[in-house]
Amino acid sequence: MSQQHVFYSIVIAAGLSVLISTSCSNLDSQTQPADTSPADSVQPPGDRYVNPEYDLALRLPASWIVVEEPLRGRTHEAINLIKKGTGAKQETPLHVHAEADHSYIAILPGGWGTELPNSQYAPFSQAEEKPELSFEIDTSKSKVLHLKDGSPWAYFIAPADPPGKWTDSGFIFAQIQTRQDTTYCIDAETGERQAVRKCDYSRGDQYIRKGNRNEQEAAVIHEILGSFFFVEGGEKKPAGEMIKIENPEPEAKISSPLPIKGVAKGYWYFEGTFTVKLYDDVTDSLVAQSSAEADGEWMTEQFVPFKATMTFKAPENHRGRLVFERANPSGLPENAQSYSVPVIFSSR
């Protein structure tokens, strides 16, 4: 595999809408010592973690915690996912350089100007061993950092189309604990081993990193990364391609209580819900509103069934419309989207 010493202006995109589901508690079954760090900067462990500011959701094992800290001189936060009781909390905010005996994930949606650690690299898209991600990556930036034996010890992941509050330099860096970690350099001309400080990648010198990777924590890191879901991620498509209404049909006569059902892409939801409003078209006044709930796992790019029930007092002989509003936890106007269905109020 080709080796390179890569520089990235990495802005720390710490915006997460992060979901932590109970189904992921099996990611790490080992009991860990209780964490004694201040509660104000650490999200409590649990089933889900959500950060609406950065439109990111993920699942996390119960023995891991989320630490959110501001970055000195920067407008973005650093969001670290770390295992409790390992000492990593004392080193936060973590980015791409940390002790090899820590497993952690650093989410930096704004940028951090630094070089990646000394290591052998391979393009993320070409790596044989990697997590399955739910979002598209920037293939020109995303890398797998691997040991001499070819096993990955870290991942540098740059989203191809991050949410609005992420910058183009935003990234995710995940490190897997490595024991007996050593790094050295191979001289391009002599083929001999030399100190890292003498390594010159511009001449073709190669960094070699050796160590014993923690395979259990590698599996945990893969599962966490695989659960990442950008609530506002991806190119905005027409509403008609994001949501399909099964009941009521357009121009249907409706009465209270009104059963509502259909399917919507995962991006339409937040926390598994979105708002449905009923308007009087003659006066353009709000008649009623309700919350539609996903019938299944909503953290997906696929269609997810939903249902709702709306009770209302209908105006006589008036036309109306049902408006299905895409959830917008960020509050950004550019993320707002809705889909309307014309209806007719039944005469009383």
> Which DSSP string corresponds to 17-80?
-----GGGGGG-----PPP-S-TTSEEPPSS-EEEGGGTEEE---TTEEEEEEEPTT-SSEEEE
pLDDT category at 89 given cuts 50, 70, 90 is low
pLDDT at 296 over 70: yes
**Non-local CB neighbours of 192 within 8 Å, separated by 6+ positions:** 186
On whether the CB atoms of residues 194 and 183 are closer than 8 A, the answer is: no
Look at residue 57 in the predicted model and tell me its pLDDT: 84
Partners of 262 in the beta sheet? Answer: 245, 306
- Please report which residue ranges of the chain form alpha helices under DSSP H: 215-227, 239-242
Give, for 278, the enclosing helix (H) or strand (E).
strand 273-280
Report DSSP state, residue 288: E
How far apart, in Å, do the first and last CA atoms of the chain sit?
A: 75
List the 56-58 sheet strands across, edge first: 49-51, 56-58, 229-230
Residue of higher predicted confidence among 268 and 230: 268
Q: Highest mean pLDDT: which of 74-83, 88-97, 105-114, 334-343? A: 334-343
C-alpha of 174 from chain center: 13
Phi, psi of 91 (to 5 degrees): -105, 0
Radius of gyration of the chain (CA): 24
Residue 160: both structure tokens together? 């191809």
Question: What is the model's pTM?
Answer: 0.63
Neighbours of 325 (CB within 10 A): 18
Q: Which of 277, 284, 346 is nearest to 315 (CA)?
A: 346
How confident is the model over 152-171, as pLDDT tens digits? 999 999 998 888 788 888 99
Dist CA 4 CA 339 (whole Å): 48
Phi, psi of 62 (to 5 degrees): -65, -20
Give, for 241, the enclosing helix (H) or strand (E).
helix 239-242
Q: Highest mean pLDDT: which of 1-5, 13-17, 137-141, 259-263? A: 259-263
Q: Highest mean pLDDT: which of 74-88, 101-115, 288-302? A: 288-302
pLDDT category at 348 given cuts 50, 70, 90 is low
On whether the CB atoms of residues 329 and 55 are closer than 8 A, the answer is: yes
- Ranking 48-52, 58-62, 66-70, 92-96 by mean pLDDT, the lowest is 48-52
On whether the CB atoms of residues 254 and 159 are closer than 8 A, the answer is: no
Q: Highest mean pLDDT: which of 34-43, 69-78, 175-184? A: 175-184
Q: How would you classify the pairing of strands 152-157 and 178-186? A: unpaired
pLDDT category at 310 given cuts 50, 70, 90 is very high
How confident is the model over 107-143, as pLDDT tens digits? 998 877 777 888 888 899 888 899 999 888 999 999 9
pLDDT at 306 over 80: yes
Residue 8: both structure tokens together? 């990235």
On whether the CB atoms of residues 17 and 52 are closer than 8 A, the answer is: yes
Dist CA 244 CA 270 (whole Å): 17
On whether the CB atoms of residues 326 and 280 are closer than 8 A, the answer is: no
Look at residue 129 in the predicted model and tell me its pLDDT: 92
